[in-house]
A and B are shown apart, each in its own frame.
Chain A
Amino acid sequence: MPLPAYIKKDYKRTRTLHGNWYLMNYKYKFNLSRTKVFLKGLKEGHILGLKCRSCNTVSFPPRLICGRCLVMPDQWVRLPETGTIATGSASYDTNDKNRERPLPVIAVRQDGADTVWLHNMPKDIDFHSIYIGMPVKAVWAKERTGSWFDIDHYDAIEDPAIELNKKEQEK
């Protein structure tokens, strides 16, 4: 279909000026009240979830606000070290020259929690062996400093329902 006549096509009419707006500086504030407890828990080897008293949703890592009830949850619960893979991907990041094989990135749902967080599996694992619903276990870092990566990575553990899951995969 030809262009309507009043749409002009003249690629030499204007020039381009370069400006810079990414240099604008910003500050970001965030609430530490829940995160502090969560990180302190990791340092001491506890996995702590935050439970909303009105809808019983457990968030891990803790969420400041429960969107369903519009309240600030304040009840801490201990969670086990195991979890399941909710979803995952492999990042073929071209900027990283040192990486020979892609780093598996997974979203883990800690057992007993209703939210997911992003974490990694070790590099040497074959990405195609990962499946959704696969049970994993947190592996602690050698030195715990009270940071997000006190859990260094997640490792696969024996899946009691492996046969069923495999069948589901191949169907």
Chain B
Amino acid sequence: MEKVGIVGYYQLKPELDIMMSPYEAIFTAVRGALDSAGLKRKDITTVVTCTNDYYDGKTISNCFKVEAGGAYMKDETKVELDGAHAAAYGLYRILSGNHKLAMIYGFSTPSCYFYEPVRILELDPTFDRTMSVINPYTTGGMQMRAYMKAFGVNEEDIAKVAVQNYKNCSKNSLALPEAKKPDISVQDVLDSEILSSPLRRLMYPIPCDGATAMILAPERQSLKITDNPVWITGMGQCQETYYLGDRDLSISVSMEKAAEKAYKRAGINDPKSEIDVAEIFGHTSCEELILAEAAHLSEKGKGAILLDSGPALNPSGGAMSAFTPCASGLTRLVEAAKQLRGEADGYQISGAKKAIASGQVGFCAQNNIVFVLEGGG
């Protein structure tokens, strides 16, 4: 795979109830990304939108976002999955040679709808939806139980992941203010309200409003635009089967396949030692561990050691810092790029050279996507 450069990005500060119209939020993110790269609107050749009709409450949610996203008279399209998938489509467009500069943005405002009930619409309408048993909480609980049983992990280990994320959030200036908890303890997490046993409230991120934009360019253009580009060297994607009963929830087959493909494309043989930073998007603290293990960052069932050694797991605070549907995966990519550029103020991992970032959709991370990033400096 040829290298593709990340030349600019902008993340809107996430809020629980943002006082901005959708168009204004997208405009701010897109304008910010262009300004960060020192580009103008006319330089964009293609725009990949990531919004969801059900999260926006309107059909064809990209139809009126043309002006705000800078897509007037540009090659525009929409990916209705996670922001990271939109980045992948932007990557295809750049790699094909047809386009020189791709603007990718993801946006959603969960303050305008109820995130958990809307997710029920992702279920199979005949059985799962009518049973009303499966929802983001119960799947999180089932997944955590399966993981604990399979590898003999206890709740404290998983609570530690949440604690680390909240502590990291407090260093991140672009984290959700409600998630900044520098003094939180493992006991606080274990004492929080039960969502679905054994999943606790503080192990589950808060959906928040936000928008993230990112600009991709081919190798030659990237070097002209910036002295310090971040290269995407590998990408892998995979969707596994839907029925929870058909899947082993304690591992993630799709993440494993996606990560292996991404490492192969990037020429990485030993991810444990080569990767410095891992920005993993997990819906729960437990899922974060499962996905990190599936990405071969640690042994199966031993994900908790990533908190002390090996690649830095979610130095930005991960999904806890900014859990915006449609933008989370893109935010992870931007956070990983920040680490490689040395722009992560306050939570910089020194000497970070290679990073991975992941995005996902579906219950128990059914469809995963992994990017391998390398610093250019």
Contacts and interface: CB of A to CB of B under 8 A. Distances in A.
Interface string A29-72: 11100000000000000000000000000000001111111111
Contact of B34 (A64, A67, A70): A70
Interface string B86-110: 0000000000000000000000010
Contact of B113 (A19, A21, A26): A26
Nearest to A66: B67
11 contacts: A26-B112, A29-B19, A29-B22, A29-B112, A31-B20, A31-B21, A64-B21, A64-B27, A67-B66, A70-B70, A71-B31
B130 interface: yes
B41 A69 contact: yes
Interface string B21-32: 111100100110
Given A17-B130, A26-B57, A28-B112, A70 B125 contact: no
Contacts of B67: 63, 65-67
A24 B72 contact: no
Main secondary structure of the interface of A (DSSP, over half): loop
Contacts of A17: 125-126, 130
A31 B28 CA distance: 13
A66 B21 CA distance: 15
A67 B66 CA distance: 7
A25 interface: yes
A27 interface: yes
B112 A65 contact: no
Interface of B: 18-24, 27, 30-31, 34, 41, 54, 57, 66-68, 70-72, 109, 111-114, 117-118, 121, 125-126, 129-130
A70 B117 contact: no
Nearest to A15: B126
Nearest to A21: B121
Given A64-B21, A67-B72, A19 B130 contact: yes
Contacts of B114: 25
Closest 7 A/B residue pairs (Cβ): A67-B67, A26-B57, A67-B72, A31-B21, A27-B112, A70-B41, A30-B21
Contacts of B68: 65, 67
Contact of A70 (B21, B27, B121, B130): B27
Interface of A: 17, 19, 21, 24-31, 63-72
A24 B117 contact: yes
Nearest to B44: A70
Nearest to A19: B125
A67 B34 CA distance: 14
A50 to B, nearest CB: 13
B173 to A, nearest CB: 25
A29 B23 CA distance: 10
Given A24-B118, A67-B67, A69-B41, A31 B72 contact: no
A62 to B, nearest CB: 13
A29 B20 contact: yes
A7 B34 CA distance: 51
Contacts of A26: 57, 112-113
Nearest to A72: B27
B373 to A, nearest CB: 27
A31 B24 contact: yes
Nearest to B31: A70
Nearest to B56: A26
A21 B120 CA distance: 10
B57 A28 contact: yes
A71 B72 CA distance: 13
B130 A64 contact: no
Contacts of B24: 31, 64-65
Given A19-B130, A31-B23, 8 more contacts: A24-B54, A24-B121, A28-B112, A30-B21, A65-B23, A67-B70, A70-B27, A72-B27
B306 to A, nearest CB: 38
Contacts of B109: 29
A158 B72 CA distance: 37
Contacts of A71: 31
Contacts of B113: 24-27
B220 to A, nearest CB: 25
Contacts of B117: 24
A128 to B, nearest CB: 32
B126 A27 contact: no
A117 B259 CA distance: 51
A65 B126 CA distance: 43
Nearest to B117: A24
A161 B54 CA distance: 50
Contacts of B22: 29
A68 to B, nearest CB: 6
B135 to A, nearest CB: 14
Contacts of B20: 29, 31
A65 B113 CA distance: 25
Contacts of B31: 70-71
A70 B126 contact: no
